[in-house]
Structure 1
């Protein structure tokens, strides 16, 4: 799944390979992985939520409903993303925006809406939720994710 999402987002196979090589095993942490049949992805049957990596190397599931949550309750929506990793919530928040930037990049590249609408839509995810501004996040999304994954190994050793 991750490889397909990256392939859709970039033609740089070397970068795709490096990022995918550092993706944690999705079965390694069952706490945050939940099936969501009500939001099943038509392109990937059985996968209702997009999986992303949080800053401590765990798989973080992000429901597409987070866009609506961000608009209605910013503080609450952040914590709702990952309810099982509350001990590491503050640490995870530091790099959550980077994970959202990557997820938003994929959505932006494959959006059926106009470029302007899609751009605005995913910027809400990347910037409004965490409140950290970024002028052009989708251009550097894959590089950001690679740095995030490399640093996650060092972060794990500090826990």
Structure 2
């Protein structure tokens, strides 16, 4: 499911939105600050703990997560879902991933008219507030608007 093109895409300057839901509750969401492959097929999403508190609580309850990766200038969107999500400590060695993500994301939204200062404010963080949600994608979908929206990602050999 995660071929080289998709792995490169989800690590580029895309908008990362993680959602989680506890049984009988509305979903909660948080903006991801970076993504990276972890241990084979798993991926990790770096999040701010304080902004993602409800989503993190839901992950602790269910282990279920859905993450959308969208390139703002094209609306290309990939959604990955998992049922084994777990919360791990943030490794400060991963901070360059956040800087790279911000460097690539800012021009995407500035091109659409969003002030650069606003984007930097939205993506400001304190290292001690970061955590990583790690999960193995159990399903994935092309969610780019158009005729293929909702189609499962092809299996990789």
Q: TM-score, normalised by structure 2?
A: 0.30
Q: TM-score, normalised by structure 1?
A: 0.30
Structure with more of its chain in helix, by fraction: 1
